[in-house]
A and B are shown apart, each in its own frame.
Chain A
């Protein structure tokens, strides 16, 4: 019982990182912009958050600093891909290299340092007493509630039930039609690409301020890439994306548990689990025979295609 409860808590903490980044990527991809640079943005967010904490021991400021760096990188990426319409694959990879490289270089002196004041868990009185899941779900930092409850609900509402969300989806599906209707294609793509980067940086901040909570080069360990994969698994819908993040968290923690319990599986093979599982997860929507399910798994039609107004 204790093992299971601990596993769940670890799964939720590990999943928070992925959920934040994946929901950000979901928003950007819904607007038609694929950002492969999440890994770099997340690494920079993680570094900035802990660096800010080491200067001023205040977790809120650390989170703010991560938002700042996320916005900055988002502006760079959006300028290149949305304003200049550069190839999104190349720019995304460039951003990933830039972020991981820069965080490794700038973070070298901070290697191994712990965050002085980690994010404090906020306990929700009645709900936290539910056996088994209560403590894991309702006794986590505010950022955790944001990732699992507030953000998915807000995205679902805006995307599916407001005019603004309809416009956003239109921009991702058929930008010329949206443009003809007077929807500001470039502005929407720009804004949502930046929001995506901010959320990825927040995911990074959660690693160094709550999950580990310390800094070492390469601390993101491919979580940015997994987040992009989970958007595909979640068929560009917030709820399945968050569930996927939770599932991923569970698989990661299963590796930890196996190591602690001594099941005799080498650590490196346990380490492969999350990556292999993610590939498997990506294939599930397509492995389904049902045609309805396949249609769910269709990407936004204009994903990755720069928008050029006709005659320009």
Chain B
């Protein structure tokens, strides 16, 4: 058990798994991941003949340094936080909703349909659109949720494939039947008659409060209700949850439907607060960015708010720098690097470097100590009926 595969230069040192990862270390690992990714980007920029420090200063000044920039960041952070919450909720149960992009489209689609074809007092209509958006997202995730719950079919693939379908669907309506015939250049619907009110003398709308309220509500539900507790148990170990009589299938269905509804709401907010028209480009990869937000927040609803704001600043910096040679594709690539570093950082925080002689001294206490629900003293035979907690679905 003491034999480590590492030898030679590193033989005096050994990696040990931490029984418990302190919060500050977890946070540090995430920050380090972001810093490393940005460093890498800086090196690439430097190599391609640009001055990364000057670019960074310019980006910071125009995003965080001005009231306008700050407001723009908050506006962009709103859909990111919503899709982030959608993905984070699924992560709590080790479900991966990669279809937030498509659910956002459908939420926007449902809300737009209501706004275009039904008339009513604005207040009532906005509430109805809110629920229509949530319904749209939930409808779009229904089939993947059913397939996952009853046949254990990989929800990553099904939700993702539906993203392509939803984009084609919305584009079809935006450039076809619903197209604004008044403005010949636009390939979008006419301006929606209902919009979320603007806050005082600013660019912000009341829409920015929606993710904040929902995040706090979600946190409360997850931490303080029986339902939230059961969801967390299933996330820890599905085997344990089944053994305890928790209706796992029903929870999978519900969590995925709620996750879809959250992403759908992101679409509703976009069409009624920011874009005001439905088009085939209503989402600028917000659904995919939501995955990054949720990963950086490690599935914590309040963390999602912070991560979303941070990512919005980064994205806006990218937009500011577009004239200096960065593009949307480049930002997507940078996000990919951040995601990989974040995943590696998460693992790194679970280990610590110890001297071999000290490790030997503390051997009985730390040996075999796993994370969370990994049974320590159970022999492998007893574990047989419980599937591995981290096992991915088919």
Where the two chains meet, the residues of A that have a C-beta atom closer than 8 Å to any C-beta of B are: 34, 36, 40, 76, 80, 84-91, 93-105, 108, 217, 221-222, 225-226, 228-229, 232, 266, 268-269, 271-272, 275-276, 278-279, 282-283, 286-287, 297-299, 301-306, 308-312
- Can you list the 9 inter-chain pairs with the closest CB atoms, starting with the nearest? A104-B329, A101-B333, A98-B336, A101-B332, A97-B336, A94-B339, A304-B392, A311-B1, A94-B340
In the complex, the chain B residue whose C-beta lies closest to that of A76 is: B340
Q: A91-B343, A222-B164 are in contact. Are A96 and B172 (CB under 8 A)?
A: no
Extra contacts, 16 of them, besides A80-B343, A104-B332, A305-B391 (Cβ < 8 A), are A90-B339, A91-B339, A93-B98, A94-B336, A95-B340, A97-B335, A101-B334, A103-B329, A104-B328, A105-B329, A222-B164, A229-B154, A232-B157, A282-B158, A298-B394, A302-B391
Docked CA distance A80–B143 (Å): 33
Stretch at the interface among B18-26, B188-196, B258-266, B344-352: B344-352
Contact A105 B327 (CB under 8 A): yes
Contact A225 B329 (CB under 8 A): no
Contact A94 B337 (CB under 8 A): yes
- Choose from A105, A232, A276, A306 the contact partner of B154 (Cβ within 8 Å): A232
- In the assembled complex, which residues on chain B have CB atoms less than 8 Å from the CB atom of A99? 336
| B377 CB → nearest A CB, Å | 13
- In the assembled complex, which residues on chain B have CB atoms less than 8 Å from the CB atom of A80? 340, 343-344
Contact B158 A90 (CB under 8 A): no
- Choose from A102, A228, A279, A287 the contact partner of B143 (Cβ within 8 Å): A279
Per-residue CB proximity of B354-379 to A under 8 Å, as 1/0?
A: 00000000000001100000000000
Q: A100-B332, A105-B333, A269-B172 are in contact. Are A86 and B340 (CB under 8 A)?
A: yes
| A215 CB → nearest B CB, Å | 13
In the complex, the chain A residue whose C-beta lies closest to that of B326 is: A105
Asked whether B122 is an interface residue with its Cβ less than 8 Å from the other chain, the reply is: no
| A150 CB → nearest B CB, Å | 27
Contact A89 B156 (CB under 8 A): yes
In the complex, the chain A residue whose C-beta lies closest to that of B368 is: A311
Contact A308 B17 (CB under 8 A): yes
- In the assembled complex, which residues on chain A have CB atoms less than 8 Å from the CB atom of B329? 100-105, 108, 217
- In the assembled complex, which residues on chain B have CB atoms less than 8 Å from the CB atom of A297? 394
Where the two chains meet, the residues of B that have a C-beta atom closer than 8 Å to any C-beta of A are: 1-2, 4-5, 15, 17, 96, 98, 143-144, 147, 151-154, 156-158, 160-162, 164-165, 168-169, 171-172, 176, 288, 291, 295, 327-340, 342-344, 346-348, 367-368, 388, 390-394
Docked CA distance A193–B348 (Å): 21
- Choose from A96, A228, A276, A283 the contact partner of B151 (Cβ within 8 Å): A283
Docked CA distance A217–B332 (Å): 13
In the complex, the chain A residue whose C-beta lies closest to that of B345 is: A86
- In the assembled complex, which residues on chain B have CB atoms less than 8 Å from the CB atom of A312? 4, 15, 17
Contact A97 B288 (CB under 8 A): yes
| B92 CB → nearest A CB, Å | 14
Contact B157 A87 (CB under 8 A): no
In the complex, the chain B residue whose C-beta lies closest to that of A229 is: B157
25 residue pairs from A and B, CB less than 8 Å apart? A86-B340, A87-B346, A89-B156, A90-B343, A93-B339, A94-B338, A96-B336, A97-B288, A98-B336, A98-B337, A101-B329, A101-B331, A101-B333, A105-B330, A217-B329, A225-B161, A229-B154, A268-B168, A282-B154, A299-B394, A304-B392, A305-B388, A310-B1, A311-B1, A311-B2
Contact B336 A225 (CB under 8 A): no
Docked CA distance A302–B389 (Å): 11
Docked CA distance A297–B154 (Å): 12
Q: A90-B339, A91-B339, A279-B162 are in contact. Are A85 and B347 (CB under 8 A)?
A: yes
Q: A94-B336, A268-B169 are in contact. Are A232 and B291 (CB under 8 A)?
A: no
Contact B332 A275 (CB under 8 A): no
In the complex, the chain B residue whose C-beta lies closest to that of A298 is: B394
Q: A86-B347, A268-B171 are in contact. Are A98 and B157 (CB under 8 A)?
A: no
Q: A34-B392, A105-B329 are in contact. Are A275 and B164 (CB under 8 A)?
A: yes
| B150 CB → nearest A CB, Å | 8
Contact A89 B392 (CB under 8 A): yes
- In the assembled complex, which residues on chain B have CB atoms less than 8 Å from the CB atom of A86? 340, 343-344, 346-347
Contact A89 B161 (CB under 8 A): no
Contact B340 A98 (CB under 8 A): yes
Q: A80-B344, A303-B391 are in contact. Are A269 and B168 (CB under 8 A)?
A: yes
- In the assembled complex, which residues on chain A have CB atoms less than 8 Å from the CB atom of B164? 221-222, 271-272, 275
Which of A94, A95, A96, A302 gathers the greatest number of chain B CB atoms within 10 Å?
A: A94
| A44 CB → nearest B CB, Å | 10
| A305 CB → nearest B CB, Å | 5
Contact A266 B172 (CB under 8 A): yes
Which of A103, A104, A298 gathers the greatest number of chain B CB atoms within 10 Å?
A: A104
Contact A36 B156 (CB under 8 A): yes
In the complex, the chain A residue whose C-beta lies closest to that of B150 is: A286
| A218 CB → nearest B CB, Å | 10
Which of B143, B156, B157, B342 gathers the greatest number of chain A CB atoms within 10 Å?
A: B157
In the complex, the chain A residue whose C-beta lies closest to that of B144 is: A279
Q: A84-B348, A232-B154, A268-B169 are in contact. Are A305 and B147 (CB under 8 A)?
A: no
Contact B367 A311 (CB under 8 A): yes
